[in-house]
Each structure stands twice: as C-alpha cells, then as structure tokens.
Structure 1
Amino acid sequence: FHRAFTRLTPATVRALNDAVVQAAVALGLEDGTQLRVDTTVVETDIHWPTDNTLLWDAVRVITRLVKHLGEHVPSVLTGFADRTRRARRRMQEISRLTPAQRPRQQTRKYRDLLGVTAGVVATARAAVATARAAQPGDPLAGALVTGLCREIEHFGGLADRVIAQTRRRVLQGEQVPVHEKIFSIFEPHTDLLKRGKVKSPVEFGHKVFLAESRQGLITDYRVLDGNPVDEGHVPPSLTQHQATFGRAPALYAADRGFYTPDNVEALTAAGVVRECIPQRGGRKTDERTAHEKSRAFKQGQRFRAGIEGRISVLLRGRGMRRCLLEGRERFEVFVGAAVLANNLLRIADLMSRRVARRRRAA
C-alpha cells in the first residue's frame, strides 16, 4: 500500500475525488443545490521553530550526511570536524536563558552557534567538491555518492537561509518579514498562520480551503500558499461548482470573512438564489439589513455552521490535523486522501440509509 500511495500525485487524487463526486451525482445522492465553504489549517510535521533549534538541526543533519558520504569516499572526512556537541550545547544554553540573562548572554552565544553552523556548511561543501572529483568506479556507489552530495547541497542552502535570518533578527535587531522566514529545514514549504484563534494563536502548516455539499461531500479543496484572505476564494469555488454540477448552487453559505460586495454580485449574476454571507463591517443598507434578518438567511447560516462539524471530522476522524508526509506535493496528496476517505464513507452511509428506507417502505 505504501509503495502505491507514494506514487500518487495531487492531480491523480483530485481526479479520483472528482470521479467520486460525479458517481454520487449519478446515483442520485447529491444534486449540488447547496454549498457551504470555509478554511482550516493542516499542520506540517515540525517542532516549534526557533533560530537556535533550526541552526542545531542544520549542523546535525549536514554532519550526519557528510559522515555517510565518508563511508564511500573516505577522503572527504579530511578537514571535516564533528561540531555537533558544541552546537547542541549552545542551542541548549540559549533555550535555557532566563529573560534577565538574555540581554547579556544571548548575542554572544548566538554568534558562537552561527560561527559553528557556517563552518560546518563551508566544510561540507568542500567535502562535496572532493567527493565529486573522486567518484568511485562502482556505478551503485557512484549513484549513492551523487545522491548524498545533492542532499548536502540542499540542506546547505537551507542552512544559509537560517543563518541569514538569525543574523538579521538577533545580531542586527531586524524584524524579518514572515514570507522571508524558514520554519523548518525538513519542511521548508511550511507557512506561519495567525487566524485569531484563542487556543492556537500561531499555527505552522498550510491553509486549506474546503467546499461541502448538502450531503456532506467535499466537492472542492485547495491547499493554499501563505495566509490569503478568505474573500478571494468565492469566485474560484463558484467556477469549480459549476464545472462539477453544470450550474451554480441555489444556496451559497459562508462566514463573514468571505464577504465583499463584488462576491455578492458575482453569486447573484451566476444564478445563486440564496446568498448567505454576513456583511463584514461598514454600515448596512436597509435592504441588506432586511436580507440578513430574513428567515431564509438565518436558515442558510445554520446550514453554514455544519461545515465546522465536517472540518472536525476531517481533522480528528480522517487524520487530517497533521501531515506526517514529507514535502509540499505529498502534503497535497495527504489532504486529498483525507477528503477522498470522507467522500467514500459519506457515500457508503447515504447508500446504506437508502437501502434501509426501501426496506421499511416494503
């Protein structure tokens, strides 16, 4: 199973999900008349990122790879020193500093840790150059050496980014923009997300957009880059729904983060009969106030609340809370697989209920 799963691509999983939704439509289980949308966060498998732990990660990983390289090309170890013990000590010392000690000791300890990390990266690159100049005659060993050299170069580049952001923040006192930061050398695609949640003010992973039908099927999902505002997801979700069902939903429900006048106009122009998105800020017109106080709007908002339960099912029941797979592409496959599992189980449940109703009617 694992071998087959690792061969899946995001496009393949999306095609499978689209086929499952179309099968539900063909079976008469879903008609696409109602749609509710929301976003959530799926975490990447990383530890809480701090500059000192990221530098320590770089030192220990690069050192381990160079030692593996030395098993095939012993000459690369000449001039390469194992600095992991010193790096670990500095990392731990920085972590244990009290608020009173930080102003006096933090900069000095970071300078030492930065020097160790930069030295390890430099000697590792020299080891790579030596290994490439002395390629072993055995083709298999040569392939292993090439692969190790690529890994060392990959982590060396990430280590350079960690060194640069640490120098800017700690030594130069600069506020490094979020989009320029790296939060893990193992999952460098990880985003920092602040959604104003009390229990989770800061999350590390990716924001995921979800669109759910009346019967609990996820008809659209997207793994997003950064932390885009929710209002930008309405037009593409409407286009995707029209492509899947051949028409716009009669009811489109979302929270106030999705509201803009342009989105309301786009939904109306597409043929949405009941737009149920609360206005966000600003003075409401009498017409808008009457619309949001109407029974139909309140019913639509109660329907919208159901996607919170679906998100909980995905995160808790389908294992989508934290992705243990490596890389951005595998992350998208993981999210798609959780959505696929949800849709298949929902279809099975709907079909079993249909059979039970027919038996009772007979």
Structure 2
Amino acid sequence: MRKVIDLQMEFWKKDIANIEFDLESRDEIPKLLMGLQYIYSTANIRKMVFDILKQIVPKKNHKTGRPGMDLWKILVLGTMRLNCNWDFDKVHEMANNHHKLRQMLGHSETDFDSNYALQTIRDNIALLTPAILDEINQIVIKVGHSIVSTNKEPELRGSCDSFVVETDVHYPTDTNLLFDAMRKTISLIAIICSEIGITAWRQSDHNIKNVKRLLRGIQRLNRSTSKDEAKKQKRDQFIAAEHQNYINVCQGFVLKAKETIQILRELGILSLSQDLRLNIVEQYIRHAERQIDQIHRRVVLNEKIPHEEKVFSIFEPHTEWISKGKAGVPQELGLSVCVLKDQYGFILYHQVLEQQTDDKVAVAMAQGAKDRFDNLVGCSFDKGFYSPENKNQLANILDFVVLPKKGRLSAKEKEIEH
C-alpha cells in the first residue's frame, strides 16, 4: 500500500507550502526544493504530477499490503539525486540529516526516529523510470513557459548541442585493464573458495601483488632513442619479452580460475549467491582473455588494434574515447549526451549517444522535441550536426533551421549563412 503523500498534519510539522528557503543561496539544493515546493503548492500541477506518479504502483497493490514509501518522497529524493549527481550513499546521508530536505519529505522538526535505510532508498528511487520522468518533465516545462512568457503557448526557438558526461574511470591502457580484470578475478574466486573451505586460492593477496609488480615493471619501460638499430632492436625484444611474461602469468591465473569454477560447479554445493558471483568472475575472465589477446597482438605481433575492438573500462564498459577537438582537452572518457533547449533554458529533449555522432541524431532530436512541444518552430545546430540529408529532413520538421555546413562555403552558401 502506497500513498502519494501523507497530508495529515502533526505537531511541529510544517506545511510543505510554507517552508522558507535562503533566496541568496547559490547552491543547487534550495533551488531544486523551491521548484518541488511550487509543484506541491499549485493544485492543478500537483494533481497532474501525482497522477503520473501513481503509474509506479501496480493497480492491484495500490490499497493493500504493507505501507511503502510515499510517492512524493520518491519524487523528491529521485529529483535531488539526478540533478545534484549524488550516489545513493549521499542521498541516504542527506535524507536523514539535511534539515530542509527532511521538511520537504514531510517530517517534523522533532521527528528524529524516522530515518531511511540505504536499501529502502535504492529500491524506491529505482521506481522512477525514464518514461515517468519524461512525462513529469513535459508538465514542468509547460508550467515554466507559462511563468516566464506572457503568451500561453509561446513560439519556441531551440538550440541543440552535445557534451560529454565523464565516467569514473582511470586512464585506460591494455596492460592496466588486464590487471583490473585479474585483480577482480583472483579476489572474488578466493572469497568464494574460502566460504566453502577450499584452500587453492589462499595466497590470493600475494598473487595480486605479483601481477601488480609485473605491471609496474612494464609501465616503467621506454623505447630506445638510440640511433643504433641493433640497440633499438634489442630494446624492443626486451620490452616484448617483459609483456609476454606478464601475459603468461595472467594466463596461468585465468586457466586456474576456469578449473576452479568447473570443480565448484561439479561439486554442486554452491548457494544461489555464490553461483551468481561465479558468473561475475566469468565476466572478468572474458575481459582478461580479451586484453591478453590484444597485448599479444600489439606488442609481440606488432599489430595495430582497431578502435572498435578496444574497451576503455571493465567496470563501465559503455565508456567511450571521445575527441571533440577542444583546446587543451585531447580526449574525454565517458558518453556524449545531446540536449535540445529552448530560448528560456528549458531542456525540451535529450538523448544519450552510444556509438553515435552528432550528425546521426540531428533529425531524431528535432523530431523528439517537436513531438513533445508542437510550438517548437526553429532550432540551431553547430557544424557537427551537418549533413545534406539532415538539412533537407530538418526543413520538413521545423520552420527555421540554422545548420552551418562543414568545410569551405560557396558564395551562395556564405550569403545564406551570414
């Protein structure tokens, strides 16, 4: 059983509409809470948003069962997490100790015992799906337009651009990615074996240190700058031998891990949790085998590894190597996100670009924004979105399109653009 919000007032409990904020604060938290307060205080907006939030709960369980977290609390905590870029530990700390946030969640000043468990926060915020948030976003933007514009439905003129959201990864090389895979493989399988009473991996910490020692030795190696070809060749052979030794040691641990997994499964004594963890170990083994193959091909066979075969993090495999040509930023590690915003600063539509470039999503961005906001009449793009096909298709979607052409312009094209 879930309520949208508990409206029953208690002693020392402050009405959400009457919560006061520091208007001079430059932090994002008061601004977000004031926006949520406006949604709560405006009856027609609150009804529309609450009707959307009711989609979270299955209809058959809406009025039966144990009490769950109020849908308003889920919206508040989910909004804070996404906009402030918090992890769940940060949300947990703020929900239990931030005074204004707790008032927004409906707690009184003397309510010291109503704390949130970390797993409760994880499970409930996960209910806010992208589809639910997109519906709420459309309502909020339309209300925002009615506030900042005198017209009920102003003509919207958008601008589209992309930026990189960096992932939390270290600088990737094939050798340190292999170490990451080996470290997780050895440590995880050692934990499972110790739980069962198998001592085959009792020296796991020592084994990890050995692999790391070999990695550090490789990282200190430099190519010869001598003009003597014999010396350069000898140095290259030494570097190849060191890399070969490194991957041989790692290959030995991989084979041992595979044998251990086979024995554990044949014994039939694994719990469900242990079996699931073995599946994770197998994923790390596949990462290790790929890196061993790529190191061998690159160093020993002197091949060039195609970019599409490379992985830049074994923990966040969606990470991409992005070079946008910015001054002082040769590359960024993460994912590109394309946003289309209007003249008032509201984001009308967005899309995460996985293995895509700007010119592949220009039409989809314009069409997605137009489907949600029919009063969008024009949009500007930078040169990265240009293609002849995009220019023609965008002209059929929008009345006004600014799309500079890449490369050299003819006299007629200069006249059009300038």
Find the residue that maps to 2:361 and give its secondary structure: helix
Q: Would the aligned equivalents of 1:69 and 1:145 in 2 still touch at CA under 8 Å?
A: yes
Equivalent position of 2:23 in the other structure: none
Q: Aligned-pair distance for 1:266?
A: 2.4
Find the residue that maps to 1:246 and give its secondary structure: coil
Matched, 1:126 2:255: no
Q: Aligned-pair distance for 1:175?
A: 1.0
The number of aligned residues is 285
Share of identical aligned residues, percent?
Answer: 27
Matched, 1:240 2:368: yes
Matched, 1:53 2:172: no
Alpha-carbon distance in structure 1 between the residues aligned to 2:362 and 2:299: 41
Alpha-carbon distance in structure 2 between the residues aligned to 1:222 and 1:126: 44
**CA deviation map 1:187-219 (0-9, x unaligned):** 112111122223221221111111111111111
**CA deviation map 1:159-180 (0-9, x unaligned):** 1111121122111111111111
- Summarize the Cα distance change of 1:130–1:18 in structure 2 as closer, same or farther, 3 Å threshold: farther
Q: Would the aligned equivalents of 2:190 and 2:201 in 1 still touch at CA under 8 Å?
A: no
**CA deviation map 1:94-131 (0-9, x unaligned):** 11123339624321111111112111122112211222
Alpha-carbon distance in structure 2 between the residues aligned to 1:8 and 1:119: 45
Equivalent position of 1:353 in the other structure: none
After superposition, residues 197-216 of structure 1 pair within 5 angstroms as 197-216=326-345
After superposition, residues 17-28 of structure 1 pair within 5 angstroms as 17-25=137-145
Q: Aligned-pair distance for 1:89?
A: 0.9
Q: Aligned-pair distance for 1:22?
A: 4.1
Q: Aligned-pair distance for 1:17?
A: 3.0
Equivalent position of 1:305 in the other structure: none
Equivalent position of 1:110 in the other structure: 243
Q: Aligned-pair distance for 1:91?
A: 0.5
Matched, 1:266 2:393: yes
Alpha-carbon distance in structure 2 between the residues aligned to 1:153 and 1:108: 28
Query: RCO higher in 1 or 2 (8 Å CA, sep ≥ 6)?
Result: 1
Q: Would the aligned equivalents of 1:76 and 1:127 in 2 still touch at CA under 8 Å?
A: no
Q: TM-score, normalised by structure 1?
A: 0.71
Equivalent position of 2:194 in the other structure: 71
Larger radius of gyration: 2
Alpha-carbon distance in structure 2 between the residues aligned to 1:194 and 1:219: 26
Find the residue that maps to 2:158 and give its secondary structure: strand
Find the residue that maps to 2:339 and give its secondary structure: strand
Counterpart amino acid of residue 186 in structure 2: T
Greater shift, 117-126 or 127-136, is seen at: 127-136
Equivalent position of 1:351 in the other structure: none
Matched, 1:86 2:210: yes
Out of 342, 366, 383, which is 1:256 matched to?
A: 383
**CA deviation map 1:130-154 (0-9, x unaligned):** 2222343xxxx71221122111111
Matched, 1:291 2:416: yes
**CA deviation map 1:276-330 (0-9, x unaligned):** 22222244242x322222xxxxxxxxxxxxxxxxxxxxxxxxxxxxxxxxxxxxx
Q: Would the aligned equivalents of 1:75 and 1:130 in 2 still touch at CA under 8 Å?
A: no
Counterpart amino acid of residue 210 in structure 2: R
Q: Aligned-pair distance for 1:93?
A: 0.6
- Summarize the Cα distance change of 1:97–1:20 in structure 2 as closer, same or farther, 3 Å threshold: same
Equivalent position of 1:298 in the other structure: none
Counterpart amino acid of residue 170 in structure 2: H
Find the residue that maps to 1:38 and give its secondary structure: strand
Q: Aligned-pair distance for 1:28?
A: 6.7
Equivalent position of 1:314 in the other structure: none
Out of 255, 278, 292, which is 2:404 matched to?
A: 278
Counterpart amino acid of residue 54 in structure 1: L
Find the residue that maps to 1:211 and give its secondary structure: strand
Equivalent position of 2:156 in the other structure: 33
Alpha-carbon distance in structure 2 between the residues aligned to 1:292 and 1:234: 18
Q: Aligned-pair distance for 1:239?
A: 0.9
- Summarize the Cα distance change of 1:133–1:163 in structure 2 as closer, same or farther, 3 Å threshold: same
Find the residue that maps to 1:125 and give its secondary structure: helix
Out of 297, 314, 327, which is 1:185 matched to?
A: 314
- Summarize the Cα distance change of 1:13–1:158 in structure 2 as closer, same or farther, 3 Å threshold: farther
- Summarize the Cα distance change of 1:181–1:10 in structure 2 as closer, same or farther, 3 Å threshold: farther
Matched, 1:152 2:277: no
Find the residue that maps to 2:316 and give its secondary structure: coil
Q: Aligned-pair distance for 1:181?
A: 0.7
Q: Give the 4+ runs in structure 1 shifted more than 6 A.
A: 78-81
- Summarize the Cα distance change of 1:267–1:89 in structure 2 as closer, same or farther, 3 Å threshold: same
Alpha-carbon distance in structure 2 between the residues aligned to 1:260 and 1:54: 37
Find the residue that maps to 1:99 and give its secondary structure: coil
Please report the RMSD computed on the Cα atoms of aligned residues, expressed in angstroms: 2.5
Out of 349, 354, 359, which is 1:220 matched to?
A: 349
Q: Would the aligned equivalents of 2:322 and 2:333 in 1 still touch at CA under 8 Å?
A: yes
Matched, 1:97 2:221: yes
- Summarize the Cα distance change of 1:17–1:131 in structure 2 as closer, same or farther, 3 Å threshold: farther
Question: Which one has a larger percent helix, Structure 1 or Structure 2?
Answer: 1
Q: Would the aligned equivalents of 2:351 and 2:365 in 1 still touch at CA under 8 Å?
A: no
Q: Would the aligned equivalents of 2:378 and 2:398 in 1 still touch at CA under 8 Å?
A: no
Q: Would the aligned equivalents of 2:367 and 2:397 in 1 still touch at CA under 8 Å?
A: no
